[in-house]
Amino acid sequence: MTGLPRDPRHDPVLRDEVVAALAIGPGERHVDATFGAGGYTRAMLAAGAEVIACDRDPDAIAEGQALVDEAGGRLTLIHGRFGEIDRLLAARGIDAIDGIAFDIGVSSMQLDRETRGFSFQADGPLDMRMAQEGESAAEWLNRADESEIADVLYHYGDERQSRRVARAIVAARPLSRTGELAAVIRKALRHPPGAPKDPATKSFQAIRIHINGELDELVAGLEAAERVLRPGGRLAVVSFHSTEDRIVKNFLRERSGGDAGGSRHRPALLPSARAATFHPPARKLRPGKAEEARNPRARSATLRSAVRTAAPAWPATMTKEAMSC
């Protein structure tokens, strides 16, 4: 696997570890829930799988057509959200798969194209919509209450000074460019020129997670995967943010019969209340030093994986608030 070339548009994080966790057997059918530049898909094809790949970004799907042609009938690309991957598969007559991988978050292609409005490093329209539809970051920031903005910055970006930043954003409205927003945040946080980490990083991440409903999608995607994996099927999830990782950890702990540590939002289930839908998860994996040095995106990545049991899927009742506690 390590011999596969890396796409200059996006260097896939923990690719070989994900494909190892999927344990692809000859002729098996696997899903790449986050196609992006197709890095995981290429590795799954090389391991002998038939692949169905999905992405909510129409650009990723359009740019993937060349790989569909190369794959000689072994790759199907679907435009859609992984939160409904079971329905997208059912619409194609597929009700069981051997494995599914998620590589959560934003691709380098999305970040690097200033026209998409994800980046604080290059000026562009304040957009941040992966699916290129729905409310843009500018529309939301220009209409939301100061307290709503502060909550998003705090919960999805771990921004300790969320109230100060939200106040500055509201005072600077209307905003329409990423450069303007980044300047407002830097000024609010009194960014010393040349400081190593740009203080806009956390707020941009938080706004992106909110605009794309990423945590709700993650919960829905895990539950959809539980419904569509066959007994013995494998789930692999790479996440880049502590809240996302907590959702994956709690989901797998609870579904494998462990105590996910009930909370105000989620009363602890009795261990025997439902049959476990996953075997105890594998130990979490982090990128090695070499990958971190080569690819800075890898530094915050965590891979969690588990194997499906034969028990029926649980009802889809989880919320992101419950799963992230």
Closer to ligand SAM by Cβ: residue 162 or 239: 239
Tell me the closest approach of the beta carbon of residue 301 to ligand SAM, in angstroms: 10
Is residue 127 close enough to count as binding ligand SAM by CB under 6 A? no
Q: Identify residue 313 by its one-letter amino acid code.
A: A
Contact by Cβ (8 Å): 131, 119: no
Tell me the closest approach of the beta carbon of residue 34 to ligand SAM, in angstroms: 3
Taking residues 5 to 34 in sequence order and writing x for each that binds ligand SAM by CB under 6 A, - otherwise, the string is -----x-x---------------------x
Angle value at C-alpha 79, between 144 and 176, nearest 5 degrees:
30
Contact by Cβ (8 Å): 287, 14: yes
Write phi, then psi, for 305 (nearest 5 degrees): -145, 155
Residue 117, annotated ligand binder?
no
Residue 40, annotated ligand binder?
yes
In which order are the strands placed within the sheet that holds 229-239? Answer: 75-79, 50-55, 29-32, 97-103, 229-239, 302-307
Is residue 83 close enough to count as binding ligand SAM by CB under 6 A? yes
Options 103, 127, 223, 245; binder of ligand SAM; rule CB under 6 A: 103
Contact by Cβ (8 Å): 260, 231: no
Contact by Cβ (8 Å): 308, 277: yes
Taking residues 38 to 77 in sequence order and writing x for each that binds ligand SAM by CB under 6 A, - otherwise, the string is xxx-------------xxxx--x-----------------
Contact by Cβ (8 Å): 246, 323: yes
Tell me the closest approach of the beta carbon of residue 19 to ligand SAM, in angstroms: 11
Q: Is the dihedral of CA 171, 175, 179, 185 positive or negative?
A: positive
Tell me the closest approach of the beta carbon of residue 83 to ligand SAM, in angstroms: 6
Q: Which of residues 202-241 bind ligand SAM (CB under 6 A)?
A: 217
Nearest partner of 103 among 17, 203, 223, 189, judged by Cα: 17
Is residue 107 close enough to count as binding ligand SAM by CB under 6 A? yes
Closer to ligand SAM by Cβ: residue 47 or 168: 47
- Tokens (6 digits) for 310: 């034969």
Site residues, ligand SAM (CB under 6 A): 10, 12, 34, 36-40, 54-57, 60, 81-83, 103, 105, 107, 130, 217
Q: List the binding residues for S-adenosyl-L-methionine.
A: 38-40, 55, 82, 103, 110
